[in-house]
Copies of this chain bind each other. A is one copy, B any other.
Amino acid sequence: MSRRTGAAVKTGLGERAGRMPFVVMKFGGTSVANVERIRNVARHVKREVEAGNKVAVVVSAMAGATNQLVAWVREASPLHDAREYDAVVATGEQVTAGLLAIVLQSMGITARSWQGWQVPIVTDNAHGVARIRDIPGAALRTRLEQGEVAVITGFQGIEPARNRVSTLGRGGSDTSAVALAVAVKADLCDIYTDVDGVYTTDPRIVPQAKRLPKISYEEMLEMASQGSKVLQTRSVELAMVHNMRVRVLSSFTPPEDVTPVDPATWDRIGTIICDEDEIVEQRVVSGIAYAKDEAKITLLNIADKPGIAAAVFGPLADANINVDMIVQNLSADGKSTDITFTVQGSELPRALEVLKKVAAKLGAFDIKSSNDVAKVSVIGIGMRSHAGVAAQMFKALGEKGINILAISTSEIKISVLIDAAYAELAVRTLHGLYELGKD
């Protein structure tokens, strides 16, 4: 969508002229899976320090560590106290933070590790799925300003009322990194992962898929929630609220091949997730997302009376089951109605259980369900000002003989539910249709 835009990019650095960029670097579990990889991470950090940039690093647990800790907790008791769960699983990040600080010191870089309670990263008391409330961190800021590298445990914080360790839920380290970047007023939050950016679609399906130099927060949210799992959704929401630039790049790119963070060049590698105003040339469609872990449920011959939707979807919501696409039609005989909707594939058994209870109350209706469906989505902020995207999409899919089972749309997205067997064909068709593989 955006080309290299050079000086035309709004950098937001006006009020900070003359000082070196301040960057938060986040490394996930596969990037710190063992000491050798931690050493590689340290070389990425060293590059930034030597360029004069101020650096805070956020780390996840070594790959596999959190799974082992969670397995122990479950073995201890399936119904465990979330506060104790947090005390146990938060240790994974503490190990990585200490080890990275040691490796950095051995390379001659001034560094220290910080645990969530030391910063402090203050959260609410929703242990296991806590939300960050505040990061006061005066001591942290002082040391960063003095040029010391702060290595901070991701995923965790402290609940101040009870003085207990809290965790943010799986993938929460992305959110830790963005929250810290906001708190320390960083110029950029670099998320190092195992892919080198956000692509127009999954390159395993479409080899012509192109890396997007920039993507807006809104588009990224649609990409993420539509099944393109690069960043935790909550971290993107947080970045959007605070207008924090987030860049996705690969920790497996050799550290010497990455240019130190600099506003003039930082869109030459990875993908920057930013405000749409920073994206000068906007394409109508930016990317194609797909999700295969969908399940379709159809309620047949349900009595068509007021309040029926609430009677069906209320209990599902109470059971914390997310309903996505909904289509309601008159049934064949015109007297009753059919309702079709989708849920996450893993939620299907629970959803069916809830619906059986609903059926018992409302009077009998038939329930049909299927796991063999996929959702394919076309995403782009340019769609706001361009009509006809949907019509093109439906026509192209129709020409390939792909049947559309349901449709849902937002301002910047059109999703269709199709037979799972056609998912790859649909993605390739749409990627070609909107010419996303062209430079």
**Interfacial residues, chain A to chain B (CB-CB below 8 A):** 35, 38-39, 69, 72-73, 75-77, 79-81, 83-85, 87-88, 90-92, 94-95, 97-99, 101-103, 105-106, 112-113, 115, 117-118, 139, 163-165
- Given A84-B105, A163-B118, residue A98 in contact with residue B112 (CB < 8 A): no
Copies in the complex: 2
Q: Which residue of B lies closest to A139 (CB)?
A: B163
Complex-state Cα separation, A38 to B94, whole angstroms: 23
Contact of A87 among B69, B115, B165 (CB under 8 A): B115
Q: How far is the CB of A100 from chain B (nearest CB, A)?
A: 8
- A101: chain B residues at CB < 8 Å are 81, 84, 87
Interchain Cβ contacts under 8 Å between A and B, 14 examples: A35-B75, A72-B95, A73-B99, A76-B102, A80-B106, A83-B112, A84-B112, A87-B94, A87-B101, A88-B98, A91-B94, A91-B95, A94-B94, A117-B117
Complex-state Cα separation, A99 to B165, whole angstroms: 14
Q: Which residue of B lies closest to A69 (CB)?
A: B95
Q: How far is the CB of A92 from chain B (nearest CB, A)?
A: 8
Contact A76 B99 (CB under 8 A): yes
- A165: chain B residues at CB < 8 Å are 115
Q: Which residue of B lies closest to A105 (CB)?
A: B81
Q: How far is the CB of A47 from chain B (nearest CB, A)?
A: 19
Contact B98 A77 (CB under 8 A): no
Contact B91 A77 (CB under 8 A): no
Contact B72 A99 (CB under 8 A): yes
What are the nearest 8 A-B pairs in CB distance?
A88-B98, A91-B91, A77-B106, A87-B98, A76-B102, A35-B75, A84-B98, A80-B102
Q: How far is the CB of A38 from chain B (nearest CB, A)?
A: 7
Q: Which residue of B lies closest to A77 (CB)?
A: B106
- Given A76-B35, A106-B76, residue A113 in contact with residue B87 (CB < 8 A): yes
Q: Which residue of B lies closest to A81 (CB)?
A: B105
Q: How far is the CB of A90 from chain B (nearest CB, A)?
A: 8
Q: Which of A39, A87, A92 has the most CB of B within 10 A?
A: A87
Complex-state Cα separation, A137 to B2, whole angstroms: 58
Complex-state Cα separation, A69 to B99, whole angstroms: 10
- A87: chain B residues at CB < 8 Å are 94, 97-98, 101, 113, 115
Contact A76 B113 (CB under 8 A): no
Q: How far is the CB of A107 from chain B (nearest CB, A)?
A: 9
Q: Which of A77, A102, A117, A118 has the most CB of B within 10 A?
A: A102
Complex-state Cα separation, A81 to B39, whole angstroms: 16
Q: How far is the CB of A141 from chain B (nearest CB, A)?
A: 15
- A106: chain B residues at CB < 8 Å are 76-77, 79-80
Q: How far is the CB of A338 from chain B (nearest CB, A)?
A: 46
Complex-state Cα separation, A302 to B35, whole angstroms: 50
Complex-state Cα separation, A77 to B165, whole angstroms: 29
